[in-house]
């Protein structure tokens, strides 16, 4: 009888301990920052032009963290900016465009240090991420001179895709609260984010955009 009681307690306690020690947890959060288009209008990128042209960027996400060094999830973001030909000395075309994009992506994220549940000792962790998903872009352009014949306007909304990579750093500011700062670069499947296509370019390149985000997340465990 005594052996049966010990066995009963064993099977009662051990599964509870195993469940309690699971590292898996969910995470959700949001952030805001800067958004910048890169394409035919501003191929000569500089830090000064970035801060002159960058617009707002908003993002939200839900992630699953199965182990302390890896997570996957879904994230959605919106951003817009204004780019002008005159900032690059092209007064003969004088094209100004308001460009915006909305994307929804699946992403994978790797921490360089164990982070999250059961790893309170690592309050700061750098990370790397990649992802891909759907993209919707829209542009509204205007100019004050006649455009060259090689310019084909596309002032509409288009669907495409984006593939991105990024890196950042996250820090625990509470047991279930984390702050993060990240940079991402997105490669798209469209050349219409600036509202036109220049047919005089022999090897056209698809547009890109980058973002810098400061955000907060809640760890659910």
pLDDT number for residue 134: 99
Predicted confidence band of residue 16 (pLDDT cuts 50, 70, 90):
very low
Q: Which of 79-93, 96-110, 143-157 has the lowest mean pLDDT?
A: 143-157
pLDDT number for residue 2: 60
pLDDT number for residue 171: 96
Predicted confidence band of residue 4 (pLDDT cuts 50, 70, 90):
low
pLDDT digits (tens, 9 = 90+) for 18-40: 444 578 999 999 999 999 999 88
Rounded CA separation 23/17 (Å): 12
Token representation of residue 175: 């047991």
DSSP H or E segment with residue 19: helix 2-20
Rounded CA separation 31/141 (Å): 28
Q: Is the pLDDT reported for residue 88 higher than 90? A: no
Q: Is the pLDDT reported for residue 177 higher than 70? A: yes
pLDDT number for residue 144: 67
DSSP letter at 88? G
Q: Is 8 exposed, middle or buried (0-12, 13-18, 19+ CB in 10 A)?
A: exposed
pLDDT digits (tens, 9 = 90+) for 198-210: 888 777 789 999 9
pLDDT number for residue 201: 78
Spell out the domains of the chain, with CATH numbers in brackets: 32-220 (2.40.160.20)
Rounded CA separation 163/166 (Å): 11
Predicted confidence band of residue 91 (pLDDT cuts 50, 70, 90):
confident
Phi, psi angles (nearest 5°) of residue 2: -60, -40
pLDDT number for residue 1: 57
The reported pTM is 0.85
Rounded CA separation 134/153 (Å): 23
């Amino acid at each position: 009888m005594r052996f049966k009681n010990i066995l009963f307690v064993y099977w009662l306690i051990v599964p509870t301990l195993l469940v309690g020690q699971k590292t898996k947890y969910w995470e959700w959060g949001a952030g805001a920052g800067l958004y910048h288009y890169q394409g035919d209008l501003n191929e000569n990128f500089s830090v000064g032009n970035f801060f002159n042209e960058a617009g707002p960027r908003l993002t939200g996400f839900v992630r699953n963290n199965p182990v302390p060094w890896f997570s996957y999830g879904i994230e959605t973001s919106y951003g817009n900016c204004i780019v002008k030909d005159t900032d690059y000395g092209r007064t003969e075309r004088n094209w100004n465009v308001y460009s915006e994009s909305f994307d929804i992506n699946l992403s994978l994220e790797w921490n360089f240090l164990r982070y999250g549940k059961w790893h309170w000792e690592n309050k700061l962790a750098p990370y790397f991420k990649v992802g891909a998903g759907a993209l919707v872009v829209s542009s509204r352009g205007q100019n004050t001179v006649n455009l060259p014949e090689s310019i084909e306007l596309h002032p509409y909304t288009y669907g495409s895709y984006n593939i991105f990579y990024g890196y950042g750093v996250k820090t625990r500011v509470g047991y279930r609260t984390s702050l993060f700062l990240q940079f991402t670069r997105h490669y798209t499947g469209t050349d219409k984010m600036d509202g036109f296509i220049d047919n005089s370019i022999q090897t056209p390149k698809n547009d890109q955009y980058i973002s810098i985000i400061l955000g907060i997340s809640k760890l659910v465990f």
